[in-house]
Amino acid sequence: MSIANVHAAERLPRSELAVEGRRRHAAHLCGLAIVVLAVGAPLFYWGLFDRIVADHAAHVRFAQRGVAEGVWPAHFLLQALIYTLSGFQTGFVALAWTALALLSACVVAKAWLSYGLLVRYCPELPPTSAERSTWLSHATLLAVVTGELMLSGPIIRPWWTSRIYLGQVSPNIWHNPTSLVCWPLAILLFFAAVEFLRTRQARLLVAVSVLTAVSVLAKPNYFLAFAPVYGVLAWRRLGVSRVGLLAIAALAPAVLLLGWQWLASFGGPRVMRPGQHVAWMPLAAWRVYSNWITVSLLFSLAFPLSYLVIYRRSLRYREMLLFAWGVMLSALVWMAGFAEVHDADGVVDAEFNFSWGAHLSLFILFLVTAIDLFDQQAADPAVAEHASTGRISRALAQVPWWLLAAHAASGLVWITRQAIGRGLG
């Protein structure tokens, strides 16, 4: 923005500036919706009608089976929503089109929530200084980074370009509909918990309780990773007090639902996963897809890990980053430690269902990392010049941004490979 434009902006009434700001945010939200729908809607359509490898059609058939036989998945929120929103139709085509609309709405909600949280936690640069009056470009940059977050995948390993997703942890997944439904709930849950631990407001605790229960009905994996970390942080922050006990008790509905899901899946007369059991088998399921697990993690976590290493002494939202990293590590324990095993021969099931929590958690870690990086550099550009051992070069300060761009580029390659029928690779 030129100096003349800055002075013109300063002369505008504050109400007009607010209106202009809302218009820009609305334009950014529309742009993000167009981008994620351009990517997601075709993938969902092809997946629902069996044009590409995906889980979408199978979950529509789960809804049909639930209506016809009364046998619903243990995490049945997706199927219940599809059936209800379709007007209680039972035909596959009607349910599939409803699923397409629902999944599209979920990815738009994920993008809009991410942009809204970036706007909330990252301060707008004031348009009162010719040197720092980059409010417009700042807001646009928030939208661009949101787009990068929505497209990101594991960084492609140069020696294995055909294997991008399998064996890695991805901050975005397009082929699994229950994850897509769970993601907006997980984002809301994480930030409601962050704000509750900071403010202790009762309404936020109610939100945590409701969101944990609903997220378990959508997909229990995120709650499995979230609950122990939330419990430790609540005890650390609130202690053995009335509020602290209520903070833990808020998880009770989700825990009860989780217990029912366990029995429905692996025990009782009408189990949903017959002939299987869960076992503690460290790395057994992961090694089905990756022989270089450490390398897989480095190429999956490059953006948040590089930021943590370079800026670890100047973190802005330290508690929020600790929370996000804690949930991520908890999810990796579930992913690495447990496996579903066939009773008959002891073979590890290849569906790798304990990995879903890591994918869900990684997007939130990406988002929190972007928030901290934005806020740090916006508040004081000099902060970007400091690292863990003194001053760092401008090039090193930009490494996290370049790695985020690499994640987004790799994600686009992976999306393209899915779209042209190359599988999930």
Q: What is the DSSP string of 154-168?
A: PPPPTT-TT-SSTTS
**Which long-range contacts does 193-199 make (Cβ < 8 Å, 24+ apart)?**
193/226, 193/230, 193/323, 194/319, 194/320, 194/323, 196/247, 197/233, 197/234, 197/237, 197/238, 197/247, 197/319, 197/323, 198/319
Smallest CA-to-CA distance from 55 within 172, 181, 177 is with 177
Mean pLDDT of 339-345: 88
Whether 281 shows a pLDDT value over 60: the answer reads yes
pTM of the complete model: 0.92
Whether 187 shows a pLDDT value over 80: the answer reads yes
Tell me what percent of the residues of the chain surpass a pLDDT of 70.
87
The angle at the Cα of 260, spanning 258 to 265, to the nearest 5 degrees, equals 95
Q: 258 with 220: CB under 8 angstroms?
A: yes
What is the C-alpha radius of gyration for the chain, rounded to an integer number of angstroms? 22
Smallest CA-to-CA distance from 174 within 30, 288, 56 is with 56
Q: How far is CA 116 from CA 18, 141, 286, 296, 319, in A?
A: 16, 13, 35, 31, 20
Tell me what percent of the residues of the chain surpass a pLDDT of 90.
72
Q: Which two tokens stand for residue 306?
A: 């590089």
pLDDT reported for residue 270: 54
Q: Indicate the pairing of strand 338-342 with strand 276-280.
A: antiparallel
- Would you tell me how many other CB atoms lie within 10 Å of the CB of residue 394? 8
Mean pLDDT of 257-271: 79
pLDDT reported for residue 392: 57
What's the pLDDT band for 271 if we cut at 50, 70, 90?
low
Mean pLDDT of 32-49: 97
pLDDT reported for residue 98: 98
Find the length of the chain. 425
pLDDT reported for residue 130: 36
Q: Please, what is the end-to-end C-alpha distance for the chain in angstroms?
A: 44
Whether 288 shows a pLDDT value over 80: the answer reads yes
pLDDT reported for residue 15: 62
pLDDT reported for residue 276: 84
Mean pLDDT of 145-174: 94
Whether 391 shows a pLDDT value over 80: the answer reads no
What's the pLDDT band for 114 if we cut at 50, 70, 90?
very high
Whether 17 shows a pLDDT value over 70: the answer reads no
List the chain domain ranges: 3-419
Q: Which two tokens stand for residue 58?
A: 């199978």
pLDDT reported for residue 269: 53
Whether 343 shows a pLDDT value over 90: the answer reads no
pLDDT reported for residue 219: 97
| Residue entry with tokens 């709405």 | 105
What's the pLDDT band for 362 if we cut at 50, 70, 90?
very high
Residue-averaged pLDDT of the chain: 88
Least confident of 195-209, 275-289, 316-330, 351-365: 275-289
